[in-house]
Structure 1
């Protein structure tokens, strides 16, 4: 049912008892009938309309957990959000928001998305939300985080790309549960080493079927014809818009700077001469039967991937996937890059052999030298440990050595986590 049909059904009372209500694309005013669902409504999507305010009595929606207002011209995150007693996920992306009042942050806030706005300052009360787990701030004007966030012990994922940070706060890498961080496109990020990847003329490509689509672009099957002969490849064409991780240009730079590794979907070259001026990369094409290891996080799981309930892995598969991903991350660190998004949904694997590769450098950032860089690597060790632990959850006979390793990688004190070479060595001893 489209927005018009849903709105008509709402006004007739046909949606009494609804738990989800989606009214995207063109809503000019807040329908008061939404408040009649106060006893049941949990998810409300008002995205891509022309709303500038929300009703003062929005707090009547006492069961509301998720609210999306992205794409509406809000200049201020509505303070009334703080009146919603069970609201935990707030998404206002691409609204032009300049101000985030302290009252706009619900008590039970768990997931806050404010990507692609004009926010320069965040309220000190942000760190007083003890359930905060995921914070998406890419594409704003923020130069400093509230010091209160240093007590955000449940924060696991933060996106700071394309802001105005001259330095990351020292306490950030000491947060006990932080595992995924992106900060590319800030003054605090060192320059990425230029890569000598070849330029691939558009005329040398034969583009085939669409293989997949993500936030930053589309991936097609392609054949690259060069003087050396014809080669099958994957073609990624970038959309050019801000994503939750940052700008596609930074992803391209990271892919090229990463070089090649057997456990990475490495870049073969940069596209030149696209007829519409689009930017693109030519990537290694994986065999058609390879699959993504898991689905991305859901509204319920927040920062954790969603695996197929039927998935079963034997110990040999778990060890091979774990070793491949860890070696890929170690290679990136050696090239001066933080992956920023080490997840099963960015891992492709061969069910028959357990072979795996790590993909998607959309959240990658250049590592600074010295202790700051080492501290950021220890944050990523936790992401590796979480992934290993998830693999073990689906393992038919989890190796004890690997269970101990997962616990070591995810311990609360980052300084006590093993280094990636130590992780690789431990996996080797468990084989």
Structure 2
């Protein structure tokens, strides 16, 4: 046994964490409260909320092209799918969809309609996924379909408007050229100058180019896209459901319980483990006294067959007796009570009995001079005898040189006891010459 303490190093951290976790599990009531709160919260969310249904449709976006069947023709030219997604959730699309739904008897504003809409774009595709969440399956299906159709209608109208604007621009350039061509034709004859003929030919080329562009614009396929996946009425409500919410609530509640236990552990001033005791006091731990399951009414555990408490007292006494720092230079042990004096008295009596078992001469002095109770607690085991030769010499008959008792340890020997005596002036008695 060495009293030198070893400083905790990095190798002790896993053991320290395990010890702290075991200490958290001591507060089972807080853990149970956290789990119950989590389950109640999950159940409340599951039962108090209304069921909602989500219908989903997918739209393939394409651009206007002249010949979709020509080799190398692609329908993704000039498409910014991010901008198209923003257009799908715009007020214009919402207003068009609200007008379509109003004709079918569903009176809803554009703002309310867009509140339940979510438009996403799967990666690396030109597809927009329209997901609408409503109160009933049929409402979700109808509104998702109306929003997808409104988006396609809006995109088609926007494409046709762009084509019309470009055609009008080309027509505005074409009309003056045709007028100028007609004027030059009147001037052209057998004797016409070469510059008039050349100008007329250039105008005809320009007119042909503009006419070709107008014809190409009118021949464009303005199909804005296709509804690849038509929305259908969902068969089950969306959301996590009661079992999942209860599971999530239990997990969150357990985390809350662990947090409460940790806070309780942080502000608990009591020593919770032997490791913490050694670290706090800077002293070795001699032993841990177990609690006896059955009360025998006797202070002495030494001599009681099958007593774990007696074995622990013997182990503590053995470590003290063979510790060089104590055996070579010290002969006095003091057990000081913390609160109730009964535990200190029991420890002193059992350590004295353990030393007596080793063959040591032991004198136990009860220094409680206000409410002495050790002799009464020992009962028949203590009987008055003549003071032993190694005890203090006789004084004036006052404590502690008055009566002495011999305490028998069953089958192991005996130790001397000077029981406490009620005195009027305790400080003077404790500082007197006999003491």
Q: In which range does the TM-score fall when normalised by the shorter chain?
A: under 0.3
Bigger relative contact order, structure 1 or 2 (CA pairs below 8 A, ≥6 apart)? 2
Q: Which structure carries more strand by proportion?
A: 1
- The TM-score with structure 2 as length reference comes to 0.20
Q: Which structure carries more helix by proportion?
A: 2
